Amino acid sequence: AGTGDLSQDVVTRGDAYWHLARAFYVVARHQQASEALSDIRRALELEPESADLKAEAAGLLALLGQRSEAVSVARAALAIDDAQPRALRVLAVVVIGRALSARDPEASEIGMGEAIELFERLSETDASEPDDLLILARLQSDAGRHVDAAETAGRLAERRPSDPEVLDVLVRALIRAEQVED
């Protein structure tokens, strides 16, 4: 690749992120969703191999209520980078929403299982946030995986030792895991 190719790549990447930034602006200003969707889709066309751009686009799509498209774009980002934290987070949140609104208990259980798996993967990345662990501990506890929930909440308590919400989740998980002495 010559210098001209590099320059064109930089221009294309810049254009893609400009469209994404414009979509953020449109969403923030509560303007027409169709305008934001157009910019998001244009950004995705310009940078089809960027996991980071796809992850950000998925977040915006979810925010706009385009959950199916958000899932598709997040999964495409994970196909490029299976540890892309924003894509994992967006996908997990959409999956949780679907699971909670599912009328079929089996579909709900499957969705929550997938959400747990996604948050577990996210907790293994450098970009995981303490709230990711808190959500994971709660999901594990709700799924009856009390030992796992206690371990996750314990990891979080090491990071946020004086947080009463974290300590509450930890104590409840320990009791449910029959680790009362701990």
User: In a structure prediction context, what are the per-residue pLDDT tens digits for the chain, which is 182 residues long?
Assistant: 444 555 777 667 677 767 666 666 666 565 567 778 888 888 899 889 999 999 999 998 998 889 999 999 999 999 999 999 999 999 999 999 988 888 888 888 899 999 999 999 998 887 678 888 999 999 999 889 999 999 999 999 998 888 899 889 889 989 988 887 76
Give dist(CA 56, CA 136) in Å, integer: 22
Report the amino acid identity of residue 66: Q
Residue 29 confidence (pLDDT): 62
CB 88 within 8 A of CB 78: yes
Residue 2 confidence (pLDDT): 47
Residue 85 confidence (pLDDT): 93
Residue of 173, 85, 90 lying closest to 129 (CA atoms): 85
Within 8 A by CB and 6+ apart from 69, the residues are: 61
Q: Tell me the pTM.
A: 0.76
Q: Which long-range contacts (CB under 8 A, 24 or more apart) does 28-32 make?
A: none
Terminal C-alpha separation, the chain: 60
Give residue 31's region: left, alpha or beta (phi > 0; psi -120 to 50). beta
Residue 59 confidence (pLDDT): 93
Residue 179 confidence (pLDDT): 84
